[in-house]
Chains A and B, each alone.
Chain A
């Protein structure tokens, strides 16, 4: 369970990898309901709902994952639904602590895991910007300075003072991206919902990511969208049922992914 987080990036020495993960394994507790026959007949339906119990078990979500991310690299994690992509991002962000293996993260890793997570639905866009800013450790005047930039990127216009739950998907996506990159993290972790945006959004996202990586920072993107991955990433990691199926250059990984899908 070795987890080292070093927040000072020392640039004058040999470039240290931003992320170094060796043989990471994550086991998580799950509820496994006892066998039920809910579908068999209506009587069983209610009996099972009342009396069937769940047992606790554990499943292995990530198994033997080794990854290195150097400054300036953009890693795309691709794989089917349930392959462990999002979980891997949460491990890299330090939210889940690996059960086994070693993880070293140099610099701060910030994530965008879900479009609505961390946003208060009832609060206005402006209030959400302030809340997230505070969570990132900024004071009120620092946040105020950044508001115009965020509003411009998110194209909120007059909606700034309207509740978050009235926003269109595009506005939510743009707001989430611009808020999360308010402080430019050393490593940005993006989950697959990011592929939900339209072409216009993807263009903006690419610009933002290019700017981040210019400052020799890293990106890890989880997706099952090969086109999005091709436009953003330099390296690829193919996951299947929590294990590494392929890890290497972007095109090789995508080719391998295509092969698997076609067979």
Chain B
């Protein structure tokens, strides 16, 4: 039936007439999309700082009392945890609706599915990069020192973003077909925020059985550890590396299989 099928060619190709790289295109598009959101507000992207800053101020002071820990221990923990969590949950929640939200671009044929995924990822990362200002501020206020080891955090961040990519492809395809996914994921992410040590400290010594099960089987915890522990000069458990690296490999394999199998159907589903 199909004697001349040439696999690789997928969505309508943008004819590349210049040296504009795909990455530049993704970057400009997401930046543009990101800034347009705030067009009609007075403060613009500054709003990204207001929410988390209030949260950290109120919760930080309150919970350092409730949990009976030093504020200069708890607040940096809370700050990095909250900002990183915003990135994680941004990836996860956005992923389920990524293709529906770009229905016009898909049906107009101006963007490939892979472009849409990358623009969404970069938008979420841009939001995160704005909020990192808060982490710097907290580190200055509590005059925390940063060592060479702290830069391992950037490696953790890179792994986190990479996992956002496969997750967006994978959940994006499933979410386009089954709209229920967005609801399920929304419900899970609210609980996961409380179940992950962000507004509480896991404690440094031996955990109870229930607590260690909670932490071991919570993939978000391991991602968070990779980013947060180096900044707080704490050691990263080998288990966290194992979980994250395994998820990265399995996830990309899954996403590639799903993409090849289903990208043709996505325009019909959205």
Instruction: List chain A positions with a Cβ less than 8 A from chain B.
Output: 1-5, 7, 28-29, 90, 93-97, 100, 102, 104, 108-111, 113-114, 116-118, 120, 122-123, 127, 130-132, 134-139, 142, 183, 185
Taking a contact as CB atoms under 8 Å apart, the answer to whether A122 and B16 are in contact is no
Taking a contact as CB atoms under 8 Å apart, the answer to whether B29 and A3 are in contact is no
Instruction: List chain B positions with a Cβ less than 8 A from chain A.
Output: 1-6, 9, 11-20, 24-25, 28-29, 32-33, 36, 39-40, 104-111, 264-265, 267-269
B29 — nearest CB in chain A belongs to which residue? A134
Q: Which of B9, B15, B17, B109 contacts A142 (CB 8 A)?
A: B17
Most buried by B among A3, A7, A116, A135: A135
A117–B16 Cα gap in the complex (Å)?
A: 22
B2 contact set on A, CB distance < 8 A? 1-2, 102
A96 contact set on B, CB distance < 8 A? 267-268
Taking a contact as CB atoms under 8 Å apart, the answer to whether A138 and B17 are in contact is yes
Taking a contact as CB atoms under 8 Å apart, the answer to whether B17 and A137 are in contact is yes
Taking a contact as CB atoms under 8 Å apart, the answer to whether A120 and B36 are in contact is yes
Taking a contact as CB atoms under 8 Å apart, the answer to whether B1 and A93 are in contact is no
Most buried by B among A2, A29, A134: A134
**B122 → A minimal CB distance (Å):** 13
A137 contact set on B, CB distance < 8 A? 14-18, 20, 25
Taking a contact as CB atoms under 8 Å apart, the answer to whether A2 and B1 are in contact is yes
A3 contact set on B, CB distance < 8 A? 5, 9
Taking a contact as CB atoms under 8 Å apart, the answer to whether B269 and A29 are in contact is yes
19 A-B residue pairings within 8 Å (CB atoms): A1-B1, A2-B2, A7-B13, A29-B268, A93-B12, A96-B268, A108-B12, A113-B109, A117-B107, A123-B36, A130-B32, A134-B20, A134-B29, A135-B105, A135-B110, A137-B15, A138-B18, A142-B17, A185-B15
B103 — nearest CB in chain A belongs to which residue? A117
Taking a contact as CB atoms under 8 Å apart, the answer to whether B109 and A94 are in contact is yes
Given A95-B267, A100-B1, A117-B107, residue A139 in contact with residue B6 (CB < 8 A): no
Taking a contact as CB atoms under 8 Å apart, the answer to whether A2 and B39 are in contact is no
Apart from A111-B109, A135-B111, A139-B19, list 5 A-B contacts with CB within 8 A.
A1-B2, A90-B267, A108-B12, A114-B108, A138-B17
A134 contact set on B, CB distance < 8 A? 20, 25, 28-29
A138 contact set on B, CB distance < 8 A? 17-18, 20
Given A7-B13, A137-B25, residue A122 in contact with residue B39 (CB < 8 A): yes
Given A137-B18, A142-B17, residue A94 in contact with residue B104 (CB < 8 A): no
A108 contact set on B, CB distance < 8 A? 12-13, 15
Given A122-B39, A137-B20, residue A5 in contact with residue B107 (CB < 8 A): no
A251–B17 Cα gap in the complex (Å)?
A: 38
B12 contact set on A, CB distance < 8 A? 93-95, 108-110
A163 — nearest CB in chain B belongs to which residue? B39
B24 — nearest CB in chain A belongs to which residue? A139
Taking a contact as CB atoms under 8 Å apart, the answer to whether B15 and A183 are in contact is yes
A194–B216 Cα gap in the complex (Å)?
A: 59
A109–B20 Cα gap in the complex (Å)?
A: 20
**A17 → B minimal CB distance (Å):** 14
A181–B5 Cα gap in the complex (Å)?
A: 29
Taking a contact as CB atoms under 8 Å apart, the answer to whether A136 and B15 are in contact is yes
B109 contact set on A, CB distance < 8 A? 90, 93-95, 110-111, 113
A88–B59 Cα gap in the complex (Å)?
A: 57
B32 contact set on A, CB distance < 8 A? 123, 127, 130-131
**B109 → A minimal CB distance (Å):** 5
A130 contact set on B, CB distance < 8 A? 32
Taking a contact as CB atoms under 8 Å apart, the answer to whether B29 and A131 are in contact is yes
A108–B13 Cα gap in the complex (Å)?
A: 8
**B18 → A minimal CB distance (Å):** 5
B19 contact set on A, CB distance < 8 A? 139
A251–B115 Cα gap in the complex (Å)?
A: 43
A136–B33 Cα gap in the complex (Å)?
A: 17
B104 — nearest CB in chain A belongs to which residue? A117
A93 — nearest CB in chain B belongs to which residue? B109
A107 — nearest CB in chain B belongs to which residue? B15
**B116 → A minimal CB distance (Å):** 11
A185–B105 Cα gap in the complex (Å)?
A: 18
A93–B110 Cα gap in the complex (Å)?
A: 10
A5 contact set on B, CB distance < 8 A? 6, 9, 13
